[in-house]
Every structure is written in C-alpha cells, then in structure tokens.
C-alpha cells in the first residue's frame, strides 16, 4: 500500500492539493510550478495584447461569455526553430499565460535570445540545437527523416519552413512510426495515423506540463481572472433564445445542438474532399480510409 501511494505521489508531483481553508480552495487542485525557475519574462520578447471582450471591429458582440480578466502580454515563441547549427543554452523555464505549456528561454551562442516550447525534462543549463544533422535529443529540432523510428516529437511542421503546427499543447506529442520516400507517418495525440512531409522539422520530446488536464479551478472566480464569463445552458433559456429552451419544468431539451441549430454530437464536421484526406491513413476512431 505504501508503495502504491508513493507511485501516485510521483505521478502527481507537479500538482498541488490545497487545504480546504476556504470554499474556493476546497476543490482546488493547482499546479505546483516545480519546473518554473523565474517569474520575470524577457522584455525584448514581449508584445502588447489587447482584449476584445468578444467584440468585432464594429464593436458588436460576436462571441459570448468573453470579457474581463487580468492583463497580460504575449510571449513571442520561436515555432520555426530556423536558427540552425548554433547551440543555445537554456536560461530559464517560465510560465506563459497564453498557452497551457511552459516555455523555455534560450541564450544562443551569438547573443540572441528566443523562447521555445519547453519539452518535458528540459532543465536550466542544458544545451539545445537545431539543424539537419543534429542528434535526436530532447529539445533539439531536426527533420523527420533524420529521426529514429519511435521518437516522440512535438511542434511539428505541416509544410517545410512553415513553423510548428501540430502537438503544441501541454503534454502533447506524436510518435514517428514509419518513414517513406516522401512522407513520415506519425501517430497523432488523437490516435490518428497521418502522413507528413519527411523534410518537415519537429522538436524531440513531449511538451511540458503534462498534468495540466488534472488541474481543478476550485471556484468560478479563477475563470473570471482568465477572461471567461459565466456560460448559461441552452435548456435553461426560452425557445426564442435557444433551440433546446422552453418546456414545462426540467425538460431534457431534445437533441444537443448549438444556438444556431447545428447538432453538437454525432454530426461530421470535416469538409468533404479536403485536400489533406489523402494524407490520413487511419482516423482517431480506428477506421482506416479507403485509398
């Protein structure tokens, strides 16, 4: 029993369970931020970010349940990793309010500084490098054709030189399962098998903060700090406001659907005949596509 408890503690060591001294901390499970080394971002890599409150250019509300929240600045992230064959030292691992993953500040040998998505296991003082012939080690970026099979990668390009688009959120990674002449076959976080051009760059490792999905806000106010306003259910509205509204008492509301009547469950939303269909070998539900 003690061994089992120790294993659970090791698995959740990045989380912090709060004592229930207030109603807001009773159910709160927060991040311990054990990997974070500083709370002061690099000023040269910050940009102003204005909040819209869900309003469009005409000032009309186009998205509901958005507004308020703390001010923050955008961290400029190097998704392209195009500074090649120049080693960089990890100066710090930092929190980024704009994403679920942590970020790492790199100090390059020529004096330049850049932020990258921090992979799991990356620590201050380690050296990373990007290039065509670099070793497939944690934090290094290289072409898929130069990686061994079974490698876990993130920040994967879909077109060479485009910059990473796939597997960028906390704890995400794709696995390199096969290599062909033009394409590498990746197993996506969803379970989908997909072809990606073999000359595309990817970063070795799993994205940091893998326990993010186990966090619990504990109170509604923490969502307000993030700029998320209360969301009311469709079944609690009137028929004039929502297709699922109305009825006597607590009625079910019918088939789940959006405010505009689009079904929320079971309807296929992918565009028919999409150009990238030929690159998908197997859907996340295990269904193989006919070629």
Is residue 88 predicted with pLDDT exceeding 50? yes
Token pair listed for 196 = 């990606």
Q: Does domain 2-212 have CATH number 2.40.50.140?
A: yes
Pair 234, 259: CB distance under 8 Å:
yes
Q: State the pLDDT confidence band at 13, using cuts at 50, 70 and 90.
A: low
Q: State the pLDDT confidence band at 138, using cuts at 50, 70 and 90.
A: very high
Q: What is the pTM of this model?
A: 0.88
Domain residue limits, the chain:
2-212
Q: Which helix (H) or strand (E) holds 15?
A: strand 15-17
Taking only the tens place, the pLDDT of each residue in 145-198 is 999 999 999 999 999 999 999 999 999 999 999 999 999 999 999 999 999 999
Specify the pLDDT at position 8.
37
Higher pLDDT, 1 or 178: 178
Q: DSSP for 33-50?
A: -TT---S---GGGEE---
Specify the pLDDT at position 6.
40
């Amino acid at each position: 029993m003690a061994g089992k408890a120790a294993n659970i503690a090791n698995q959740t060591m990045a989380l912090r369970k709060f004592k229930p001294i207030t109603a807001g901390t009773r159910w709160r499970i927060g991040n311990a931020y054990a990997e974070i080394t500083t709370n002061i971002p690099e000023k040269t890599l910050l940009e102003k970010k204005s909040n819209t409150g869900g309003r469009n250019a005409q000032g009309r509300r186009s998205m509901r349940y958005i507004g308020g929240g703390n001010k923050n600045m955008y961290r400029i992230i190097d998704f392209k990793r195009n500074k090649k064959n120049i080693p960089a030292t990890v100066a710090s691992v930092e929190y980024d309010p704009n994403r679920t993953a942590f970020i790492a500040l790199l100090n390059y040998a020529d004096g330049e500084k850049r932020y990258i998505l921090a992979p799991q296991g990356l620590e201050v003082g380690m050296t990373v490098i990007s290039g065509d012939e670099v070793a497939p080690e944690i934090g290094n970026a290289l072409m898929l054709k130069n990686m061994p099979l079974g490698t876990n990668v993130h920040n994967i390009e879909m077109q060479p030189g485009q910059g990473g688009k796939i597997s960028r959120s906390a704890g995400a990674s794709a696995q390199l399962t096969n290599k062909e002449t033009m394409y590498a076959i990746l197993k996506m976080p969803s379970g989908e098998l997909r072809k990606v051009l073999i000359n595309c760059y990817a970063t070795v490792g799993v994205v940091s903060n893998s326990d993010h999905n186990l966090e619990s806000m504990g109170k509604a106010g923490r969502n307000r700090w993030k700029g998320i306003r209360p969301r009311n259910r469709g079944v609690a509205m009137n028929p004039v406001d929502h297709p699922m509204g109305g009825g006597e008492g607590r009625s079910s509301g019918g088939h789940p659907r959006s405010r505009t009547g689009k079904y929320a469950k079971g309807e296929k939303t992918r565009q028919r005949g999409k150009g990238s269909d030929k690159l998908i070998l197997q859907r996340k539900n295990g269904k193989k596509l006919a070629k």
